[in-house]
């Protein structure tokens, strides 16, 4: 008998995909990129034999892909080695890194609610909430809907209360820091964070001259998220060292990194006093996060 159980669910949409597919029908270079996306990148990111094998088996993480949409889910269970919301968020960050590395932006939402999941399908109010959240996200961001924010706030005061992968956007909404600079979240887990961010910067700069004003607006917003990461993580935590990577533009949104443990309102956090974020080891045998060094 079919049953519904509480799940953390993320619904992600690849932005600009329809236009890219249309162009790929006439452009051999884009066709090759499309082939790589669907035959290499997405399978690597979502298959149980690919990068998902790094997640604990009892997390029961599942990923589905259909055209330009991806769904990530994990059941809320006492046997989970760490919060399913965290696992789903980490997977969403990995996917965002992988797609940005190919020049694509991602928009999405995360919800906590009932769902029924199989190896090829998912439905339920938790999934529906994530789909509706993606529609309202507008910018290339992954928003947490109210149910996910409540679950996240429940982590405060726990071992996960200083988890650094969440942020607050310029509208006061809680979002993922979807390009969080952690090596294990990169397309190549042995890659160099600094080199990836230099590549991301060039991709962003190339798209800021987009002739389509709506496309340019999305990349402009994403520039703000990029800048927020460079500003926060430069020097202090050893992730990023080159502050010249900052993209200068007065139109960029103001995004607060490390939502669960935000910096003070004044400028003292710019001196070595900003709170150090935590990240979670993807395959953690213990119920504790790993502190960044």
Per-residue pLDDT at 265? 54
pLDDT band at 276 (very low <50, low <70, confident <90, very high): low
**262 or 221: which carries more pLDDT confidence?**
221
Give the angle subtended at the CA of 66 by the CAs of 60 and 69, to the nearest 5°: 85
* Residue 133 bridge partners (DSSP): none
pLDDT band at 126 (very low <50, low <70, confident <90, very high): very high
Among 4, 138, 8, smallest CA distance to 62 is for 8
* Residue 17 bridge partners (DSSP): none
pLDDT band at 144 (very low <50, low <70, confident <90, very high): very high
Q: Indicate the range of 40-49, 64-73, 263-272 predicted with least confidence.
A: 263-272
Q: Indicate the range of 142-146, 171-175, 252-256 predicted with least confidence.
A: 252-256
pLDDT band at 53 (very low <50, low <70, confident <90, very high): confident
Burial 115-153 (b: 16+ CB within 10 A, else e): bbbeeeebebebbbbbbebbeebebbbbbbbebbbebbe
Stretch (H or E) spanning 230: helix 213-233
Tell me, what DSSP letter sits at residue 262? Answer: P
Distance of CA 120 to the CA centre of its chain: 22
Per-residue pLDDT at 170? 86
Per-residue pLDDT at 49? 82
Among 252, 48, 282, 278, smallest CA distance to 177 is for 278
- 3-class DSSP string for 145-212: CHHHHHHHHCCCCCCCCCECCEEECCCCCEEECCCCCCHHHCCCCCCCHHHHHHHHHHHHHHHCCCCC
Average pLDDT over residues 98-121: 95
How far apart are the C-alpha atoms of 201 and 194, rounded to whole Å?
A: 11
Question: Could you report the per-residue pLDDT of 145-171, keeping only the tens digit for each?
Answer: 999 999 999 988 888 877 889 999 989
- How many CA atoms are closer than 13 Å to the CA of 72, on its beta-carbon side? 30
Distance of CA 288 to the CA centre of its chain: 21
Per-residue pLDDT at 258? 82
Per-residue pLDDT at 92? 97
Question: Could you report the per-residue pLDDT of 208-219, keeping only the tens digit for each?
Answer: 998 899 999 999
Backbone CA torsion sign across 34, 37, 40, 46 = negative
Per-residue pLDDT at 185? 92
Among 229, 244, 242, 235, smallest CA distance to 272 is for 235
Per-residue pLDDT at 220? 94
Could you identify the residue written with the tokens 């799940």?
7
Topology of domain 5-281, CATH: Alpha-Beta Plaits (3.30.70)
pLDDT band at 292 (very low <50, low <70, confident <90, very high): very low
pLDDT band at 254 (very low <50, low <70, confident <90, very high): confident
Per-residue pLDDT at 283? 62
Mean pLDDT of the residues in the chain: 86
* Residue 73 bridge partners (DSSP): 9, 62
Question: Could you report the per-residue pLDDT of 12-38, keeping only the tens digit for each?
Answer: 999 999 999 999 999 999 999 999 999
């Amino acid at each position: 008998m079919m049953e519904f159980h509480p799940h953390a669910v993320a619904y992600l949409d690849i932005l600009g995909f329809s236009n890219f597919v249309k162009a790929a029908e006439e452009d051999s270079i884009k066709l090759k990129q499309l082939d790589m996306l669907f035959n290499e990148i997405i399978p690597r990111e979502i298959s149980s034999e690919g990068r998902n094998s790094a997640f604990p088996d009892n997390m029961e993480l599942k990923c589905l892909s259909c055209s330009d949409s991806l769904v990530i889910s994990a059941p809320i269970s006492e046997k989970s080695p760490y919060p399913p919301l965290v696992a789903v968020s980490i997977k969403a960050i990995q996917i965002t890194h992988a797609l940005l590395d190919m020049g694509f932006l991602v928009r999405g939402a995360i919800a906590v609610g009932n769902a029924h999941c199989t190896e090829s399908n998912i439905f339920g109010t938790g999934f529906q909430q994530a789909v509706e959240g993606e529609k309202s996200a507008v910018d290339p961001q992954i928003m947490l809907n109210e149910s996910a924010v409540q679950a996240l706030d429940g982590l405060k005061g726990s071992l996960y209360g200083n988890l650094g992968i969440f942020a607050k956007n310029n509208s006061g909404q809680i979002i993922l820091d979807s390009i969080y600079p952690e090596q294990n979240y990169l397309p190549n887990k042995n890659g160099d964070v600094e080199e990836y961010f230099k590549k991301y910067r060039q991709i962003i700069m190339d798209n800021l001259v987009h002739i389509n004003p709506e496309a340019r607006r999305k990349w402009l917003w994403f520039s703000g998220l990029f800048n927020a990461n460079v500003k926060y993580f430069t020097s202090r935590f050893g992730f990023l060292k080159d502050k010249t990577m900052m993209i200068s533009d007065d139109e960029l949104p103001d995004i607060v990194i490390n939502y669960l443990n935000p910096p003070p309102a004044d400028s003292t956090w710019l001196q070595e006093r900003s709170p150090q974020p935590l990240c979670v080891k993807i395959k953690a045998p213990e119920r504790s996060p790993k502190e960044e060094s």
